[in-house]
Structure 1
Amino acid sequence: MRELVRTNDMVLVSAIGALLDGANIHHLVLDQNMSIIEGSLGILPRRILVHEDDAQEARELLTEAGLSHELRGDD
């Protein structure tokens, strides 16, 4: 799995999830439970991960959607 985005913005997490779902790219949102435990203060970011094989397509999708500034470095 490769980390695509890390953010505290739940609206952005939802929007990216919808984009990935629409493109049939399986993804995971990690750290949601930790964020709930911390009281939804927005301190702990959520991480969106995609399978290694889908990483390039997912990055292109988010770039086309104008979200390239949200992408994590291409390790």
Structure 2
Amino acid sequence: MIAIIKTNNPATISFAEAVLKEAGMECFVMDQNMSVIEPGIMIPKRVMVIEEDVEAARRALTLAGLEADLQ
């Protein structure tokens, strides 16, 4: 899997997940529960897609206005 977005903003992550789902792509949010393991440290969450979907995911997220958040 490849990280296409890395952020601490829950709204960005939720929107990216919705955009990718609408485009028919599976995604996974990594590091979602890291604050439980390491309290007090802000560890950014990563939106991951499979390697075959990277270009299509970038295109869909760019069209949705998330270009600035892409890795």
**How far is 1:33 from its partner?**
1.0
**How far is 1:42 from its partner?**
7.4
C-alpha separation between the residues in 1 aligned to 2:64 and 2:46? 19
1:1-75 matched pairs, under 5 angstroms:
1-35=1-35, 37=36, 38-39=38-39, 43-72=42-71
Give the TM-score, by structure 2 length: 0.90
Q: Is the 8 A contact 1:8 1:42 kept in 2?
A: no
Q: Percent identity, aligned pairs only?
A: 39
Give the TM-score, by structure 1 length: 0.85
* Aligned residue type for 1:71: L
Root mean square deviation of aligned Cα: 1.4
What is the total number of aligned residue pairs between the two structures?
A: 70
In structure 2, stretches of 5+ residues that fail to align are none
C-alpha separation between the residues in 1 aligned to 2:48 and 2:21? 13
C-alpha separation between the residues in 1 aligned to 2:2 and 2:30? 12
**How far is 1:3 from its partner?**
0.7
